[in-house]
């Protein structure tokens, strides 16, 4: 590993290189994402792997943003962390139209061991234990402060985000606290894609009644909590934390979208904690990440590590997997983004038609067990770019049958394919708009709110997945049937 360099030293070098190579699109201010699509996350701790996947699951994405859209972070962004002993190695923070992202500032050759690119001390973080008794590291709440009574009134099983939001608001109000400075780099209300901040009109644009209903319940839950604890009779030192409900709901959305759940050890104490980790929360999401999180207990340090065996090129974006396996509706609930190539998304079929599983997998060169499907590129034509996360999702979600080496009967397979495609067409027909209309709407609303944009993309991605499955079934017929 290269010798450690402080952020104060790095900042001068970062600003000299504003051009990026092999750029991937991402929502750099969480909620944000890095998908291999025609466009660019409780988070469980991601464990180090002993080796990288043998074959890439997705094809390289096409960039939506050009490198010129990105600018180096403001110098103060580095200084506040340097003062508090935050360190980064071989990475730089850049800000584009959608917020911050973390990018490699040099080439990294694959090694057999994971390597560290960022370390954040416990003193900079906001953490609260998942279970009673509530424990905070660092413990910034004075004895007897009424904010602890508010936190203590929450449901231990469900209200982790409300507790973390209270802690965040308190940190903003505490004199000389690090988060007073770091808060300037968090997305504002207008920049957040969280559906907690969505209007009723935005929720209707989802074209998903279940998801809209869930978000209304979440909004009402946050509103009721604010009304209960921020009424006119509370002390000024509480009321000033969130004078209006919008600020509190914003804090909840930040807590949900930027929280990391990890088991941490402080001395002899081991506990599961909800954590807000500055700088590390700037990493975007990818279903094929090149980094993971690690807790270094000997000096209470949160580390961002590059996967063992991972090759990184200068300008590549550093990403983690927010949560897996989860469908798009769960990503929308928590982070406010979705993907048409989410390999874990699901299409609900209700008919009796089924296709032969092994034949479908062989046509698209998909290998592995169902929970670990990947595209075996060594068996594929290098020019074949059709297989992506949507095809992997189809392999998991299409009704299939398998009976050892019994070959499928072509006429029966052709009939099953036709029935499945007809059912997909019926699903598409139930939407009030088509995918082309959705894309046209997005193109015609360049100044749309972030929540409206996220809602339209969500319904678009649902349709694109179904259309991809129809195309995959067409190819299946052409290649396996005669």
Give residue 20's pLDDT band: very low, low, confident or very high (50, 70, 90).
very low
Give the tens place of pLDDT for each residue, 42-66: 434 433 333 434 434 334 444 444 4
Give the tens place of pLDDT for each residue, 165-185: 999 999 999 988 999 999 999
Task: Beginning with the edge strand found earlier in the chain, give each strand of the sheet holding 87-88 in spatial order.
Answer: 87-88, 115-121, 301-306, 291-296
Q: How high is the pLDDT of residue 171?
A: 97
- For 450-481, b/e burial (b = at least 16 CB within 10 A) is bbbbbbbbbbbbbbbbbbbbbebbeebbeebe
Calculate the average pLDDT of the chain.
85
At 427 the three-state DSSP class reads helix
- Dihedral angle computed from the Cα positions of residues 93, 99, 101 and 106, in that order, rounded to the nearest 10 degrees: -50
Give the tens place of pLDDT for each residue, 341-395: 999 999 999 999 999 999 999 999 999 999 999 998 877 776 678 999 999 999 9
**Residue 140, exposed/middle/buried by CB under 10 A (0-12, 13-18, 19+)?**
middle
At 293 the three-state DSSP class reads strand
Does residue 159 carry a pLDDT above 60? yes
Give residue 278's pLDDT band: very low, low, confident or very high (50, 70, 90).
very high
* Residues near 149 by beta carbon (within 8 Å), at least 6 away in sequence: none
**Would you say 258 and 276 are in contact if contact means Cβ atoms under 8 Å apart?**
yes
Separation between Cα atoms, residue 74 and residue 86, nearest integer Å: 16
Closest CA to 375 of 59, 61, 49, 110: 59
Q: How high is the pLDDT of residue 116?
A: 95
Separation between Cα atoms, residue 408 and residue 417, nearest integer Å: 12
At 374 the three-state DSSP class reads strand
Whether the CA torsion 195, 196, 199, 201 is positive or negative: it is: positive
Distance in angstroms between the alpha carbons of the first and the last residue of the chain: 56
């Amino acid at each position: 590993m290269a010798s450690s360099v402080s952020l104060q030293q790095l900042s001068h070098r970062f600003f000299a290189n504003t051009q990026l190579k092999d750029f991937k699109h991402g929502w750099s201010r969480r909620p944000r994402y890095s998908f291999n699509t025609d466009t660019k996350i409780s988070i469980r701790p991601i464990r180090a792997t002993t080796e990288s996947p043998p074959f890439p699951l997705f094809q390289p994405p096409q960039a939506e943003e050009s490198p010129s859209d990105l600018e180096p972070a403001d110098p103060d962004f580095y200084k506040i962390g340097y003062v508090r002993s935050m360190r980064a190695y071989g990475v730089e923070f850049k800000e584009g139209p959608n917020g911050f992202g973390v990018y490699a500032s040099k080439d990294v050759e694959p090694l057999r061991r994971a390597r560290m690119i960022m370390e954040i001390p416990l003193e900079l973080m906001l953490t609260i234990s998942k279970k009673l008794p509530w424990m905070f590291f660092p413990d910034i709440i004075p004895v007897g402060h009424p904010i602890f009574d508010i936190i203590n009134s929450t449901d231990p099983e469900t209200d982790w985000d409300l507790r973390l939001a209270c802690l965040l608001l308190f940190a903003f109000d505490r004199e000389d606290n690090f988060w007073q400075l770091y808060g300037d780099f968090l997305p504002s209300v207008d920049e957040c894609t969280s559906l907690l901040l969505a209007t009723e009109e935005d929720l209707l644009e989802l074209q998903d009644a279940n998801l809209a209903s869930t978000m209304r319940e979440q909004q009402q839950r946050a509103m009721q909590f604010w009304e209960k604890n921020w009424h006119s009779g509370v002390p000024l030192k509480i009321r000033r934390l969130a004078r209006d409900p919008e600020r509190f709901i914003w804090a909840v959305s930040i807590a949900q979208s930027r929280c990391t759940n990890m088991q941490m050890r402080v001395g002899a104490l081991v506990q599961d904690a909800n954590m807000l980790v500055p700088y590390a929360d700037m990493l975007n999401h990818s279903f094929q990440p090149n980094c993971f999180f690690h807790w270094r207990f000997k000096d209470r340090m949160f580390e961002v590590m590059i996967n063992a065996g991972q090759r990184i090129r200068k300008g590549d974006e550093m990403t983690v997997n927010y949560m897996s396996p989860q469908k798009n509706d769960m990503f929308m609930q928590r982070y406010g983004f979705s993907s048409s190539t989410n390999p874990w998304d699901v299409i609900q079929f209700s008919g009796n038609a089924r296709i032969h599983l092994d034949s479908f997998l062989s046509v698209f060169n998909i290998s592995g067990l169902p929970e670990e499907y990947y595209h075996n590129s060594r068996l594929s034509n290098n020019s074949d770019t059709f297989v992506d996360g949507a095809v992997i999702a189809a392999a998991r979600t299409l009704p299939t049958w398998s009976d050892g080496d019994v070959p499928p009967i072509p006429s029966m397979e052709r009939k099953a394919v036709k029935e499945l495609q007809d059912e997909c067409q019926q699903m598409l027909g139930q939407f009030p708009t088509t995918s082309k209309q959705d894309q046209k709407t997005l193109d015609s609303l360049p100044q749309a709110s972030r929540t409206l944009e996220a809602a339209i993309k969500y319904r678009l991605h649902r349709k694109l997945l179904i259309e991809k499955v129809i195309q995959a079934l067409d190819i299946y017929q052409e290649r396996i049937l005669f």
